[in-house]
Chains A and B, each alone.
Chain A
């Protein structure tokens, strides 16, 4: 039963190392290779990676808590971006914020947008879980026929939420002009402020999540429920409540990630689908169900994708994440943190 402490096989690790080395040699002989571009790739890769990581942590949390893969998770990301955008535009149009913060109205509005996207998506996630998923998880959850139902329900929910967003915000792409100031230069790399916000906020949120899970009583309960619902019941944890909390946290993370990504591209109702697949790749690479693994997997996918896009070809950017996922699944099917995070009795 304690297979989680099993040492991962040496052959798997050697193969992973070989793959990494080949990849590094491959990009280092690229004609575009120099210190400047390497720095740029590192910073952008980590920035994109933390976003993938935040969404992947949500997917992993729901997987451990509800025993299902939530295929509608990308839509919470999309709705979060819309929430952030709407809040931001409302505040900027209202002009009150100019009077109170004439110097820094842009980032004050953005912070409020981020916060409200986090809270709104958290509450919305809890609502969705209570109404749509609870009747199914009650019937036995992930490892039963009802679990299959939840997965299908996730696909359906994804379409429904996209159409809800269609009705509210219409399907055109919305530009998100967050007025956050001029780009800054970090170690010779010029970085738009939106990327800096992604980087810093992403790390703050990931750190807060770590502290929440490891230092608070509620976090202890979340980890317990994620491992075993029966034993959690027996120690007196209100399991249905904690399942809602887990779903809410996961959706809140996706929501804040959406508002962070919004200003770098544009906000559109189809933006959830590709981030879901990328985050899924990140979760698989890191080890499905492992939370540190999801963050590390996010960094790996982000760095790999950015490096390939820069040194090989930018036009196939979206394919690289899945290439990495397939390679990892072939060589090391358990992912980096390939621990058996949970065992079923």
Chain B
């Protein structure tokens, strides 16, 4: 579904990614792991067109997308879900979700998708007329994922869905991500919470210094020593994995 080939990119003149290769298969959940500042989010930003690829290609559904404008990429069905803090706080939950369906042409689609999202997250239905600013951290994350689903995507990329949330809520959100995959979507999840991410995913990539360091089946990665190394920059003994 998504194929990243020798991707080089960065911010301004600072290079972050030094030739990353990745592949996300249809209807799978793939975890992209790595410590702070290794380039996880940069890969997502390059995929969603926020920053440009300097070199290399990103193809989605058989088409190269690295030169498309961000809204065209959303129209193609590749949506990035940011962390919960990136909602529009001065708008209601419903307006936030409507914005998620901005690329939809018809109102019927919008209504159907709204129902679908409320099905995944009934809590959003209860709070649909509240300002997004009044939601709790978990609800914000639900809203962000819900907003991502509004545009009928084929694939969603989640940027740290577990950031700053209680374990109970993380479990709940991860269950829903699994449900979303079962309904036919492909999921790429960027995480710092390695254990949770690998429990959820089928396949994992570990990024270090802007390039993929280790990859493999998620069951295998869970016991891989080099994953711990990647997190601590090598030589660590008590990695939080």
Contact = CB atoms under 8 A, between A and B. Distances in A.
A231 B88 contact: yes
Interface in B46-73: 48-50, 69-71
Contact of A235 (B85, B100, B131, B134): B100
Nearest to B81: A234
Given A233-B49, A235-B147, A237-B71, A5 B133 contact: yes
A217 B85 CA distance: 23
Contacts of B71: 233, 236-239
B92 to A, nearest CB: 11
B82 A4 contact: no
Contact of B151 (A221, A235, A239): A235
A238 B71 CA distance: 6
B102 A235 contact: yes
B133 A4 contact: yes
Contact of B103 (A230, A236, A341): A236
Contacts of B91: 220, 223-224
B86 to A, nearest CB: 5
Nearest to A227: B88
Contacts of A341: 90
B75 interface: yes
Contacts of B134: 5
Contacts of A240: 69
B90 A236 contact: no
B102 A233 contact: no
Contact of A234 (B69, B82, B85, B90): B82
B117 interface: no
Nearest to B74: A236
Contacts of A233: 48-50, 70-71
B89 interface: yes
A62 to B, nearest CB: 18
B20 interface: no
A237 B88 CA distance: 14
B89 A230 contact: no
B95 to A, nearest CB: 6
A234 B50 contact: yes
A211 to B, nearest CB: 15
B113 to A, nearest CB: 13
A260 B171 CA distance: 60
Contacts of A220: 91, 95, 98-99, 102
A234 B103 CA distance: 11
A317 B86 CA distance: 45
A242 B80 CA distance: 20
Residue with the highest number of chain A CB atoms closer than 10 Å, among B48, B69, B71, B151: B71
Contact of A230 (B50, B75, B95, B100): B50
5 contacts: A221-B99, A224-B102, A227-B90, A228-B88, A232-B99
List 8 tightest A-B contacts by C-beta distance, closest first: A236-B74, A233-B70, A236-B103, A2-B133, A236-B71, A238-B71, A231-B86, A235-B99
